[in-house]
Amino acid sequence: MCPQKPEPGSAEESELLEGGEIELLGRMPWSSNATFLVKLDHGGRESLAIYKPRKGERPLWDFPRGTLCEREVAAHLVSEALGWGIVPRTILRDGPAGVGALQRFVEHDPEEHYFTLRERFPDVFRRFALFDVVINNADRKSGHCLRDGNDHVWGIDHGVSFHCAVKLRTVIWDYEGEPIPPADLEALGRLGERLGGDLGRDLTVLLSGAERQAVEDRLDWLLTQRVFPHPLTEYPYPWPMV
């Protein structure tokens, strides 16, 4: 009998990520940091995940060393608080190479990415654009947008986010100057409420105090402007773009 694969967002998925035995399958190609594909096995269920150990993070001049895995988890928490399901479930966990971020693997067609999907999912990518402003994503490449077999589009690779200084670099500028849809404004408002409670406490553990405050400042700015921003830096695109 083939092992059962849990549904995204299910209790079984959480159990696998949190308690499954981790087997390294190989290193992901073209990753600037140590990034591994792993198999999780727990209670007769199996799934794939991406494991990014802290000790494999390449030092960066502008981000504190050894913090990228916490930022991956923080991005998932913000995504969940918004209710937009952008970031696959991500936790901090000890693994074969030490503590790191463990994220559910999204099965997808590697030939698809933002530039091939944007005409099919404009409302989804509007939310991606707003999410990236809130977390100050410095690296939203086109290839960081994955469509699964259920036509859900996921965002991955959020380690270089949540900096205090404005560092937004993204390929998603198609909506600049447009009014933010009312439903998305409501979600952003609810996020602000959550920042004053449980989400704010969780982020305080994962980010510095100044980084945590900067999330609220960016959110307040969006709610005041009520439009999708124009490029905020001199170099607003990541490289490579795909």
Task: Tell me, yes or no, whether 122 lies in a domain.
Answer: yes
Task: Tell me, yes or no, whether 230 lies in a domain.
Answer: no
Task: Tell me, yes or no, whether 241 lies in a domain.
Answer: no
The answer to whether residue 37 scores a pLDDT higher than 90 is yes
Task: Tell me, yes or no, whether 63 lies in a domain.
Answer: yes
Domain count, the chain: 1
More confident residue, 97 or 10: 97
Task: Tell me, yes or no, whether 5 lies in a domain.
Answer: no
Task: Tell me, yes or no, whether 193 lies in a domain.
Answer: yes
What one-character-per-residue DSSP string does 13-58 give? HHHHHHHPEEEEEEEPTT-SS--EEEEEEETTEEEEEEEEEGGGPP
Residues 54-73 pLDDT 10s: 999 999 999 999 999 999 99
Other CB atoms within 10 Å distance of the CB of residue 235: 9
Task: Tell me, yes or no, whether 66 lies in a domain.
Answer: yes
Q: Model pTM?
A: 0.96
**Which residues form the domain of 94?**
11-225
